[in-house]
C-alpha cells in the first residue's frame, strides 16, 4: 500500500509534450509513452493502456499499472474536462465507501487510493477489481447472452432493494431531466435554436408528462451500467466488480441502470446503437418481449410505476447522451456519434411536435 500511495503522489500531468491528434495506428504508442512518462521513477512495472475509442484525443488516459505487489488502475486527465471527471469519480468512490448499506457489495466496488485529484489536471488511482468484463464475454459467446446478462441484472435488483426507496417522482422530474437537457442544448449548439430546439422541447414535454405521475426507485444509480463496466468470474458466473462510477448519483432513478445494460447488450450483439434502439421503441410504443424478459431479471417491469412505457428508455437515453457529452468533448465533435446516437431520437421528437401542432 505504501508503494501505491507513493505512486499516487508522484503522478503528475504531462502537458504539451505530445500532439493532441494522432492517426489511430499511432494512438496506442502515444498513450503508452504518456503512461510511461507519468510513472517514471516509481520502479519496475508493466503498463496496459486502455485503447482510445476514436482518433481524437479523449479527456482521460486510462491504464493498468501492474507490479509484483498488485495492480491499480490509473485515470489521468488530459484537460480540464477530464480533471472534472476524475475529481467527481474520486468523490463518488469516497461516498460509496462511507455508505454502510453497501457493505455486502464492498468487494465489488473500486476504492480510491491516494489524495483528492488536482482540480485542473488530476489523476485518480484505484484498485484493480478481479474478473473479465461482460462485454468481452458477450463477444466470445453471442449464442447465450442470457447466461452473461443474468448475474449482472440480478445484482441490480439486489442493490436496488438494499439502497433504494419507491416513491412518487413528481418532485424529482426537474432535477432528473433539466440538467441533462441543458447539456444537450449547450454542448450540441445546433440544438439551441430552430427545428432542433423544437425537438428538445417536445422531448421535455413527453418526459414531463410521462414521469409526473410515476412511482420509481430513488437511490444509488450507476449511470453507465453497461457490460463493459461489469466484471464476471466463476462457474456459474457471478459479478466480481463494477467500475466507472463517475456518472453515479446517490438519488437517481435506479431503474435506468437495467435499461442501460439492456440497450448496451443489444448494441454489442446487433451493432444497433442505443439511439436507434430507443427510436424503435418510441415508434412501436413498447419494448420487445426479449427486452422485457431481460429487464425482468433485474425485477423491472416496464408497465409498473409509469403511465407511458417508453418513459424509462427515453430517460435512460437522455442520461447516457448527456453524461457522454459532459465527460468528453470528443462526442460533441463526432458527427458519426451525433448521427447514430442523438439524431434518431430527436427525429422522433420532431414527429411528436408535428402531431401536437
Written as nine digits, the cell of 228 is 463493459
- The Cα 99–Cα 350 span in angstroms is 43
pLDDT in tens, 56-107: 557 888 988 887 778 899 999 888 888 999 999 999 999 999 999 999 999 9
pLDDT number for residue 294: 96
Residue 262 in grid coordinates? 439492456
pLDDT digits (tens, 9 = 90+) for 28-54: 667 778 877 777 766 667 777 776 554
Domains and CATH numbers, the chain: 2-128 (3.30.200.20), 133-356 (3.90.1200.10)
CA angle centred on 335, ends 331 and 336, rounded to 5°: 90
Q: What is the mean pLDDT of the chain?
A: 85
Shortest CA distance to 38 belongs to which of 54, 68, 18?
A: 18
Long-range pairs, 41-45, Cβ under 8 A, ≥24: 41/10, 42/3, 42/6, 42/7, 42/10, 43/3, 43/67
Contact 313, 278 (CB under 8 A): yes
Answer yes or no: is pLDDT of 268 > 90: yes
| CA 13 to each of CA 36, 45, 52, 103: distance values in angstroms, whole numbers, following the listed order | 12, 19, 18, 34
Q: How far apart are CA 76 and CA 35, in angstroms?
A: 9
DSSP code at position 114: S
> What residues contact residue 83 under an 8 Å CB cut-off, 6+ apart?
77, 117, 118, 119, 120, 121, 122
Contacts of residue 329, defined as CB under 8 A and 6 or more positions apart, other chains included, come to: 59, 81, 187
Which residue stretches of the chain are H helix?
2-10, 24-38, 80-98, 134-140, 145-163, 173-187, 194-211, 256-270, 274-284, 289-297, 311-327, 329-332, 335-337, 343-356
Percent of the chain residues topping a pLDDT of 70: 85
What is the model's pTM? 0.88
User: Residue 89 CB: number of other CB atoms within 10 A?
Assistant: 23
Give the strands of the sheet with 249-253, arranged side by side. 165-168, 215-221, 249-253
* b/e per residue 18-41 (b: at least 16 CB within 10 A): eeeebeeeebeebbeebbeebbee
pLDDT tens per residue, range 194-210: 777 888 899 999 899 88
Amino acid at each position: 500500500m505504501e508503494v501505491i500511495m507513493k505512486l499516487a503522489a508522484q503522478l503528475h500531468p504531462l502537458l504539451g509534450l505530445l500532439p493532441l491528434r494522432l492517426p489511430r495506428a499511432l494512438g496506442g504508442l502515444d498513450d503508452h509513452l504518456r503512461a510511461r512518462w507519468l510513472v517514471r521513477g516509481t520502479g519496475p512495472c508493466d503498463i496496459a493502456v486502455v485503447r482510445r475509442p476514436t482518433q481524437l484525443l479523449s479527456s482521460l488516459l486510462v491504464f493498468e499499472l501492474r507490479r509484483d505487489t498488485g495492480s491499480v488502475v490509473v485515470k489521468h486527465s488530459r484537460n480540464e474536462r477530464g480533471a472534472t471527471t476524475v475529481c467527481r469519480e474520486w468523490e463518488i468512490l469516497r461516498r460509496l465507501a462511507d455508505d454502510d448499506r453497501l457493505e455486502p457489495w464492498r468487494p465489488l466496488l473500486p476504492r480510491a487510493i491516494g489524495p483528492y485529484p488536482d482540480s485542473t489536471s488530476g489523476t485518480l488511482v484505484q484498485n484493480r477489481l478481479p474478473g473479465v468484463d461482460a462485454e468481452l464475454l458477450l463477444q466470445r459467446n453471442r449464442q447465450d447472452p442470457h447466461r452473461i446478462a443474468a448475474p449482472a441484472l440480478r445484482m441490480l435488483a439486489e442493490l436496488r432493494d438494499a439502497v433504494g426507496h419507491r416513491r412518487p417522482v413528481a418532485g424529482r422530474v426537474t432535477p432528473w431531466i433539466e440538467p441533462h437537457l441543458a447539456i444537450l442544448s449547450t454542448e450540441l449548439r445546433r440544438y439551441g435554436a430552430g427545428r432542433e430546439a423544437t425537438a428538445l422541447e417536445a422531448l421535455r414535454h413527453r418526459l414531463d408528462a410521462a414521469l409526473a405521475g410515476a412511482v420509481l426507485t430513488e437511490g444509488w444509480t450507476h449511470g453507465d451500467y453497461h457490460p463493459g463496466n461489469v466484471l464476471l468470474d466463476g462457474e456459474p458466473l457471478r459479478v466480481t466488480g463494477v467500475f466507472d462510477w463517475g456518472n453515479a448519483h446517490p438519488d437517481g432513478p435506479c431503474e435506468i441502470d437495467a435499461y442501460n445494460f439492456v440497450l448496451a447488450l443489444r448494441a454489442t450483439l446487433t451493432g444497433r446503437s442505443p439511439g436507434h434502439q430507443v427510436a424503435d421503441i418510441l415508434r412501436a410504443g413498447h419494448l420487445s418481449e426479449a427486452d422485457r424478459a431481460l429487464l425482468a431479471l433485474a425485477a423491472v417491469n416496464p408497465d409498473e410505476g409509469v403511465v407511458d412505457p417508453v418513459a424509462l428508455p427515453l430517460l435512460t437515453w437522455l442520461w447516457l447522451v448527456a453524461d457522454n457529452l459532459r465527460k468528453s468533448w470528443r462526442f460533441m465533435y463526432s458527427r458519426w456519434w451525433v448521427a447514430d446516437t442523438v439524431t434518431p431520437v430527436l427525429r422522433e421528437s420532431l414527429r411528436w411536435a408535428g402531431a401536437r401542432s
